[in-house]
Amino acid sequence: MKKIFSVITAIAITLALTNCNKQNSVTQTPATTTANIHHSTARAVYTGFPETFETGSKSAYADATVTLSTGVWDLNDALLGATTSDRKNGSKSVRIENTGMITMQFDETAGAYQVSVAHGVYGSDASSTWGLWYSTNSGSTWTQTGSNITTSSTALSTATFTMSVTGNVRFQLRKLSGGRLNIDDFSIIDNSGTGGGSDTTPTRDNNMAMGNPSGATTSTSTPDNYLMDKVQYTLSYNNSKGMANWVSWHLSAAWKGSASRCDCFTSDATLPSGFFRATTSMYTNTGFDRGHLCPSEDRDASDTDNAKTFLMTNMTPQAPHMNEITWEAFEAYCRTLMSAGNELYIIAGGYGTGGSGSLGGTTNSIASGSINVPSHFWKIAVILPVGSNDVSRVTTTTRVIAIDMPNTQAVNANTWDYYRTSVDAIETATGYDFLSNVPTSIQSVIEAAVDAGPTH
């Protein structure tokens, strides 16, 4: 069954700001997270961005400039780190200590609509706070955009700042407090479509544009394949297994913001009367995490968006090492691809029965048999440059990444890319028909291939 989605209406969210005492006549203006808007002005990631900090060399914290792929940057109380304790995509990232900062020494000329920054805690250091400033007069004065960000995870996360700046602009990132901070993949989307990148604007699009793999419907007569369409994602619920068969969602910069992770695990009250409704306590002391299918960090444009990812219909019993290490690493890589100017269509789920959590052994179910424990988890990501008419832009050369991981504590013996497989193989394991809205001649090529592209 093909379900046609209506265009979601525009939402603009103004984020409150905190004051910060810094130099150079600093003022603060709010950043807004723009959702569901197809703007008349096309915008694009500037040519050369994201800045990955892979080029150049700076091994001391002392204030100095360094030439990177995008231009000259000043690193004050900051260096280019390449140790195992530096959180990074690739071989290097910026490491900032004390109240250090990194500053562009060049202007981009087409303004700024959005900036995204990957950030993580260095080593075992304490959490830190930082903020983003911009200048339209070559660094004479600076204005903060968006709220201060708190970095508390050793895994790289992506912070996104949305603004409306025209003309010449440069950026400065300031560490405000706490332990050492890693920064990577600094990306800028222009504000006029003349920044040299592809002529596109990130938007929120149909979460199930690539197809309905199990033919789920909203009929209660099919309780094990019941379609639930939420603004943030779409899923097929399996009442007998007490969890989703699959969850499908769209990821672009339009879904990103700086809302905090709510950790507000909640039963899904939209399930039909008589359906099993999982509660968070059903996972307590089971040895399994409440593992997201659609990740919290893929939906942080607003508190509402983030809270929806904590509905228990989006949760599955995942071995902690899988959920927190290997599975999460692929989630982060997908957001890295997004920050590089792409949009992704992602679908994920579990199959089989019998996983091994932190208590050891094999567990077939939890919640007195009401929630199945899958033996494997899979995910498929279709990667496209930001644009419109997405299904029609899928070709035989479109990058599609499919992974299939065992639901065990030993899974992190390998990095996520070890578990790459083909879409065809996941179809065989699950019985689903993925990417069914893509022409069959294209499907046959991209579904048979195993991705061999970059992993950072």
User: How far apart are the C-alpha atoms of 196 and 187, rounded to whole Å?
Assistant: 14
Tokens of 22: 């810094």
User: How far apart are the C-alpha atoms of 158 and 175, rounded to whole Å?
Assistant: 16
User: How far apart are the C-alpha atoms of 32 and 44, rounded to whole Å?
Assistant: 18
User: How far apart are the C-alpha atoms of 105 and 273, rounded to whole Å?
Assistant: 60
User: How far apart are the C-alpha atoms of 305 and 227, rounded to whole Å?
Assistant: 19
Within 13 Å, how many C-alpha atoms sit on residue 416's CB side?
25
Asked if 292 is an active-site residue, the reply is yes
* Residue 214 DSSP SS3: coil
Backbone angles phi, psi at 322, to 5 degrees: -70, -50
Task: Name residue, tokens 């424990």.
Answer: 373
Q: Which residues of 23-57 are buried (b: 16+ CB within 10 A; e: fewer)?
A: eeebebeebbbbbbbeeeebbbbbeebbbbbbeee
Segments of 71-208 assigned E as strands: 72-81, 93-104, 112-121, 128-135, 143-151, 157-165, 170-178, 181-189
| Residue 165: strand pairing partners | 112
Residues in the chain: 456
Tokens of 424: 């065809």
User: How far apart are the C-alpha atoms of 436 and 2, rounded to whole Å?
Assistant: 10
Count of CB atoms situated within 10 Å of the CB of 324: 15
User: How far apart are the C-alpha atoms of 194 and 199, rounded to whole Å?
Assistant: 8
Tokens of 300: 């942080």
Catalytic choice (292, 321, 376, 456): 292
| Angle in degrees, CA 100, 106, 108, rounded to 5 | 115
Task: Name residue, tokens 């039909």.
Answer: 272
Tokens of 171: 């950026």
User: How far apart are the C-alpha atoms of 308 and 22, rounded to whole Å?
Assistant: 37
For the annotated catalytic residues, the residue numbers are 292
